[in-house]
Amino acid sequence: MRGLDYLDHESDRGVILIIGAMLDELLAELLKNVLEPSVADKLVNGSTAPLGSFSARAKISFAIGVVDAQDYKDIEVIRKVRNAAAHLDSRQGFNSGFKSQSIIGLCGNLSQNVLITSASAREKFIFAAKTTCGSIMSHVIIAQIVSMHKGHSAALKAVQGHTKGFMYNFDDIDEDD
């Protein structure tokens, strides 16, 4: 998550687009590690792939239980903010950053707001993005470790258990399997 260290020096639009791209890539990586390898690449890679968009990756990740409800809610808000910043607004140009009332409103829907109520929309967005990226990254790491030792279906179950608050017992990994 190296890109998150440099957000202080980015424009509002830069922050939004970087975070959106990072979450999109983390979801793609997560899906590649929990789906059957023979089809995962075809499903996830490419803009015309069934799971080639940020929206599709977020929805399927939540639907199969590898992203919990809180992370999904924040991913959807981040995705909507990313879409608003990525497209030219005839009134605001590309400058529809954290001063835009619609983006401020969206940032008010982030689940992490209860922890930092007095922060600016930009600070709330970055904080929620860091916690969400961290959560998804932990799922990716679990999926990678388990899929190497037990296969992708075991990785799917391990991450599903982790999103429900159960910790995966790595002692269960038997390298002879």
Give residue-wise pLDDT tens across range 115-162. Answer: 666 788 888 898 889 899 999 999 999 999 998 888 888 888 888 887
Class assignment of domain 2-137? mainly alpha
Residue 174 has pLDDT above 90, yes or no: no
Run of H or E including 25: helix 12-34
Confidence of residue 72 (pLDDT cuts 50, 70, 90): very high
Sign of CA dihedral 9, 15, 17, 23: positive
Q: Which residue has the tokens 């995966």?
A: 168
- Among residues 35, 79, 39, the alpha carbon closest in space to that of 61 is found at 35
Per-residue pLDDT tens over the stretch 28-68:
999 998 888 888 888 888 778 888 889 999 999 999 999 99
Q: Which residue has the higher pLDDT, 172 or 49?
A: 49
Cβ-Cβ contacts under 8 Å for 61 (sequence gap 6 or more): 27, 30, 31, 67, 72
Domain residue ranges of the chain, discontinuous segments joined by +: 2-137
What count of other Cβ atoms lies within 10 Å of the Cβ of residue 63? 10
3-state class of 89 per DSSP? strand
Q: Which residue has the higher pLDDT, 78 or 47?
A: 78
- How far is the C-alpha of 102 from the C-alpha of 84, rounded, in Å? 9
pTM score of the predicted model: 0.84
Per-residue pLDDT tens over the stretch 90-110:
565 555 678 888 888 888 888
